[in-house]
Structure 1
Amino acid sequence: MFETRDGNLFLVLAAVASGAAVGASLRWALSYGFNKVWDVMPAGTLICNLVGAFVIGLLTAFFVQHPGVHPAVRLFVVTGLLGGLTTFSTFSMENVSMLMAGDWMRAFLHAGTHLFGSLLMTGAGFFVYKTFFAEV
């Protein structure tokens, strides 16, 4: 009755919601602990996005090699936990605040670091899994 392509709707929602709660709590803790330690940009947000990008690279490679992993596990970790940990909206708000303050150089450095750093870390996570953990 309540089936999705990933399984029972209630199981899917529970997996995503519980993962998101964990990820968002981690994001809050990292932002609270690290956003004020670096004058160049909010370090907590950067840590969340770069760590999340690396882990999603690892997991993408893992799930390609292990397609039998239950969809609820994938939804908990990727959609929920990493979706809650990484934060495009906070990054955007921080960047707009820098632009509104007239701090153009800092805003462009901030945007570039998040964008290129996240792409690099996702690729690095995929590479690390394929190099060190992939089954032959």
Structure 2
Amino acid sequence: MNEDDQGMNWLLVALGGAIGAVSRYGLGSYFIKSSSTFPWATWCINLLGCFLAGVFFAFSQQYPTLQNNARLFLMVGILGGFTTFSSFGLETFNLLREGQAMWAIGYAVSSVILGVILLAVGYVIFSHLLSLKT
């Protein structure tokens, strides 16, 4: 791959990422804010991202030309900026599709549980460190 291709790839991901992030923010800001503690906006956005990843994946399997620049722009860029959960869903689905059910379950469960644990660890450590500075 030459430098021009590499530069174009970065540009496609960056532009797609900006579109995805702005779309996430815009869509999330239009959700009705209820008194519920459940994060409905994030939940809906993540599920929509997974659905759109499935749609694009189906098209890319039918039309292999969509596996290059279009994939960078749409999947890595737009859906990556919209939600990384869509990539997680696609990777889990691919493991299932390839007959790797145990890997898929392990990946899904460990990603969610370890992700929440590591978020909590990061929060506790840095909350403590920041409190030392005040």
Q: TM-score range by the shorter chain?
A: 0.5 to 0.7
Q: Identity of aligned pairs, percent? A: 34
Q: Are 2:18 and 1:17 equivalent residues in the alignment?
A: no
Query: Which consecutive aligned stretches of 4+ in structure 1 deviate over 6 angstroms post-superposition?
Result: none
| Further displaced range: 75-84 or 37-46 | 37-46
Contact 2:20–2:81 (8 Å) recurs in 1: yes
Number of residue pairs matched by the alignment = 90
Tell me by how many angstroms 1:37 deviates.
3.0
Aligned partner of 2:57 among 48, 57, 60: 60
Aligned partners of 2:26 and 2:35: how far apart in 1?
16
Q: Are 2:24 and 1:27 equivalent residues in the alignment?
A: yes
Contact 2:60–2:67 (8 Å) recurs in 1: no
| Further displaced range: 22-31 or 69-78 | 69-78
Which secondary structure does the structure 2 equivalent of 1:69 belong to?
Answer: helix
Partner residue, 1:51: 48
Q: Which residues of structure 2 form unaligned runs of 5+?
A: 86-111, 124-134
1:75-118 deviations in Å (ceiling 9; x for gaps): 10000000111155xx968xx68xx9xxxxxxxxxxxxxxxxxx
Aligned partners of 1:22 and 1:28: how far apart in 2?
10
- Which structure's residues are more often helix, by fraction? 2
TM-score (norm 2): 0.57
- Structure with the greater alpha carbon radius of gyration: 2
Aligned partners of 2:59 and 2:35: how far apart in 1?
34
Q: Which residues of structure 1 form unaligned runs of 5+?
A: 101-136
Structure with larger RCO (C-alpha < 8 A, sep 6+): 1
